[in-house]
Amino acid sequence: MKDHIMLKLFGMIGVCVSLIIILFGGIKNPSNFRLISDIIQNTLISIFMLFLFFPDNKKIRDAIYLGTFVMVFDFILESIAVKFDWWYSLGGTTFPPIIIVPLEMIVGFFFLGFSFYFIFDIPVYLVKIRSNYSLIKFFTNLAKKKPIPHIFRITIVFLNAIIGTNGDLTAGEEIWKMGPGWAPIYTFFIWLIGGLITLSFYYFLQNKKTKIEP
């Protein structure tokens, strides 16, 4: 792992610079939002996770499984939402009558799920760290306590629900629009429930393998 320190460092810096340009550079507009925000941005986050953790093949495989699960789940959910006029995800590429929601968004959710595998896995990595630094040792010991990893993951799901809801509600009606009878709080619960289902599938993937800590 030490042989890759410079590669990881430059890789993460490059990704961070790219994300800062996307988030604060004013380059997003309704015509390119789906490509830049859904695909490029989420792909960069996935690359950052790979540089940060340098996972083995088994973890990459499981991250692909989780990403595929999230992608399929979101495709079904978004299609149902349009069918029942709950909300409308607009812009991007569609292929009616099969794909009635933006294809870029669906692909973006694959990379989102891929990244979340490694975010959920942070306590597992912390347990394996050996360091003499008191702060690192504190977090390593904290991750070993049974309830802490689960509390951490549920907190991540909750925070993502807040961020996702805010993203939908502030994206503009060219990108996302509520249907009649829909309310912002429903959007939050959709994000929250979807996150909890994603977390459940993460645990399913963990239980398939030899049990690991935590």
Q: Which amino acid is at 33?
A: F
pLDDT band at 83 (very low <50, low <70, confident <90, very high): very high
Instruction: Please tell me the least confidently modeled range out of 43-52, 132-141, 153-162.
Output: 132-141
How many CB atoms neighbour CB 8 within 10 A? 15
Q: What angle do CA 16, 22, 67 make, to 5 degrees?
A: 75
Q: Are 139 and 126 in contact (CB under 8 A)?
A: yes
pLDDT tens digits along 99-151? 999 999 999 999 999 999 999 999 988 888 776 777 777 778 888 888 999 99
Q: Is the pLDDT of residue 169 over 70?
A: yes
Q: Which whole number is the average pLDDT over 15-33? A: 92
* Percent of the chain predicted with pLDDT > 90: 76
